[in-house]
A and B are shown apart, each in its own frame.
Chain A
Amino acid sequence: MQRLFDTALVLFGVVTLVFFLSAVIPGDPVDVMLGEHASSADREALRSAMGLDRPLHIRWADYLSGLLRGDLGTSLVRSRPVADLIAERLPATLSMALAAFVVILLIALPMGLLAAHFKGGPVDRAAAVFALLGQSIPNFWLGPLLVLLFSIRLGWLPVSGNESPAAILLPAITLGTSLAAVSMRMLRASLLEVLSQDYVRTARAKGVSRLKAILWHALPNALLPVVTLLGLQLGALLSGAVITEVVFAWPGIGSLLIDAIRQRDYPLIQGVVLVIAVAYVLINLLTDLLVRRLDPRIAAAEGDRP
């Protein structure tokens, strides 16, 4: 209950912050819409028609009440509701984020297990190098590198766009790799910690092999912190998608955001930023609730029953 209240408060703060972004614009949206040569009478007319001549706190209250009705405002350039524009682009972003999430799982789970099993060996060291590289190579360089290798040198995959089903592979790998590196390290550390606990030692003493001990006894408990991290990453995928979508000309909300920025379409920018941030907060809330279900110790420690 406390958690839900906290989330509501954070959401309120996020909305407020996104609204006040518009207060830092040098000049105002009217200059964008009318161009530099408009007469000052026209400017004033449009300004009052859009309600920009009213005080900031009134406009803020308006923005809030609009949001409660699902109204994100109207695009300055496209003259269509921002909510519709985002809804059109959302499926492309979600499918890419989901594919990247699968990439994270496919890389992080086996590599984390192997690194923990062969701790200190060459496999572990290779995994550590991969993790370091994954965290240091930015998306907007990894993307072109993969295109260079798989699309241009080898000719296996399309360069950009999303016409064929295979086109999702490179964006997903680009987006997933750096996050997979973090999860892999987390899983390895968490496994090693659990492996040193008494119940695992008991299982080993009873003759369970090390591999079996890892898979059956250690993994379920070691996964808990990883689940929390994966939740955080699912949110990070949505924002990381902005750069990756630009690299691959992927028609999701990330490229919508960059188009909006180029056209100085402020309501649309606010809308996309708000949708991503709110999704991030909600995903974190859901992850928290999930971990609470998976781990009864948390609820017991706080003294309330789920």
Chain B
Amino acid sequence: MRLSLLILLLWLIAALAGVVLPLRPDEIDLEQLFAPPTGGDAWLGRDELGRSLGARLLDGAGISLLVASVTVLISAALGTLIGALAGYLGGWWDRVISRLIEVFLAFPGLLLAIALAAFLGPGIDNVIMALSVMGWVGYARLARNQVLSLRQREHVLAAVALGRRTPDVIRLHLLPLMLAPLLVEASYGIASAVIAEAGLSFLGLGVQPPQASWGAMIREGVRYLLVAPHLVLVPGAALSLVVLAANLFGDGLRDRLDVTSRNRR
């Protein structure tokens, strides 16, 4: 838990450093193509255009943090709202929304995001949109199941009997009890959003050049695997560390908050 927090904190600092420091991730230095990580003037070496890998890594940290946090915020808010409404209202609402959830779950893994990104076109905002359309389902399913089991609790029945309006009941009486499992889901959500953003960028569907993204850096680096493996090793290690930390953080959070009903895809 501590180690994972430390790595996530480093990720945040790297993202901020990419914005604050006067780095030039796009600066080309043709004299120093493929400079190795050690010994050269640039930290972590230089890529096929002589751009500093360190600067691009920090730039990519910002992109992945931005995409992951916005995606998780949007999909958690949207999914929780839809799922909670389905569970609370029941009847036809529940049946229609449950079917909708099933249809979205019928798309395995990244497939829906790839398809959406393909039709929307590349760009950060489209990546966020595609990942949110893919991501809301998990929260919706979780929130629906939670509300179904919570709404028979006496304090909820009392609030309804006292004439509280539906949005207030959900916000004041149900949401606080659902928060723990939703937080756990969200930290796993960070891990999958980081992987998904990098995956889309690796396929050329995400962030467009010259903007640096870890996935795009791996995509460009694979071509030079033979001559300069550090082009792939550096961004991949950063990516895997962040994903590992987010997964570990989720595990730690789950154990600490003692969420018994784990709901993970």
Which residue in B111, B240, B243 is a CB contact (below 8 Å) of A273?
B111
- Say whether B118 contacts A269, CB under 8 Å: yes
Cβ of B257 under 8 Å from chain A: no
- Complex Cα spacing A280 to B199, Å: 20
Most A Cβ at <10 Å: residue of B102, B115, B239: B115
Task: Give the interface size bracket for B toward A.
Answer: 35 or more
| Contact A138 B107, CB 8 Å, known A21-B115, A261-B205 | no
Taking CB atoms, residues of chain B closer than 8 Å to A145 are: 232-233, 236
With contacts A132-B244, A144-B225, A243-B203 known, is A235 near B232, CB below 8 A?
Answer: no
Distance (whole angstroms) from the CB of B124 to the closest CB of chain A: 16
B40 at the interface (CB under 8 A from A): no
- B107: chain A residues within 8 A (beta carbon): 14, 17, 239, 273, 277, 280
A73 to chain B, nearest CB (A): 15
B-side interface mostly: helix
Question: Does B222 reach chain A (CB closer than 8 Å)?
Answer: yes
Partner pick for A148 among B106, B199, B229, CB 8 A cutoff: B229
Chain A nearest Cβ from B32, distance in angstroms? 23
1/0 per residue, CB under 8 A from A, across B95-130: the answer is 000011011101111110011101111000000000
Are B106 and A140 in touch, CB under 8 angstroms?
no
| Distance A182 CA – B62 CA, assembled complex (angstroms) | 30
Known A10-B103, A247-B222; contact A238-B108, beta-carbon cutoff 8 A = yes
Residue in B115, B229, B243 whose beta carbon sits within 8 Å of that of A138 in the complex: B243
- Complex Cα spacing A16 to B107, Å: 13
| Given A10-B102, A138-B195, A247-B222, also A22-B119 (CB < 8 A) | yes
Residue of B nearest to A13 (CB): B103
The answer to whether the Cβ of A192 comes within 8 Å of any Cβ in the partner chain is no
Q: Which chain A residue has the least Cβ–Cβ distance from B241?
A: A136
Residues on B with beta carbons closer than 8 Å to the beta carbon of A222: none
A144 touches B103 (CB 8 A): no
A153 CB to nearest chain B CB (Å): 10
**Cβ contact within 8 Å between A13 and B106:** yes
Complex Cα–Cα for A135 and B245 (A): 11
A188 vs B102: C-alpha distance when bound (angstroms) = 28
CB-based nearest A residue for B115: A273
Kindly list chain A residues whose C-beta atoms are within 8 Å of the C-beta of B120.
Answer: 24-26
Does B79 lie at the interface of the complex (its beta carbon under 8 Å from any beta carbon of A)?
Answer: no
Interface residues on chain A, number (Cβ under 8 Å): 50
Residue with the highest number of chain B CB atoms closer than 10 Å, among A11, A26, A138, A239: A138
Give the docked Cα–Cα distance between A161 and B195 (Å).
25
Contact with B along A143-169 (1 / 0, CB 8 A): 011011000100000000000000000
Residues of B with C-beta under 8 A to A289:
none
Q: Given that A140-B218, A246-B203 are contacting pairs, would A281 and B119 also be in contact in the complex, using a CB cutoff of 8 Å? A: no
Contact of B226 with A by CB under 8 A:
yes
Docked-complex contact B225 and A147, CB < 8 angstroms: yes
Cross-chain contact A262 with B225 (CB below 8 angstroms): no
From known contacts A236-B109, A242-B110, infer whether A21 and B116 are also in contact, taking CB-CB under 8 Å: yes
A235-B106 Cα distance, complex, nearest whole Å: 10
Q: List 26 A-B contacts (CB under 8 A).
A: A10-B99, A11-B106, A13-B103, A14-B106, A137-B243, A138-B239, A138-B240, A138-B243, A141-B218, A141-B240, A144-B225, A145-B236, A148-B232, A152-B225, A238-B108, A240-B109, A242-B110, A243-B110, A246-B202, A257-B114, A261-B203, A262-B204, A276-B108, A277-B106, A280-B107, A280-B108
**Which A-B residue pairs are the 4 nearest by beta carbons?**
A13-B103, A141-B236, A136-B244, A239-B108
User: Hey, which bits of chain B sit against chain A, CB under 8 A?
Assistant: 99-100, 102-104, 106-111, 114-116, 118-121, 191, 195, 198-199, 202-205, 215, 218-219, 221-222, 225-226, 229, 232-233, 236, 239-240, 243-244, 247-248
* Given A14-B107, A140-B198, A140-B218, 18 other A-B residues pairs in contact with their CB atoms under 8 A: A9-B102, A17-B107, A21-B119, A132-B248, A136-B191, A136-B247, A138-B195, A141-B232, A145-B233, A148-B232, A239-B107, A243-B110, A243-B199, A246-B202, A257-B114, A262-B204, A266-B119, A280-B108
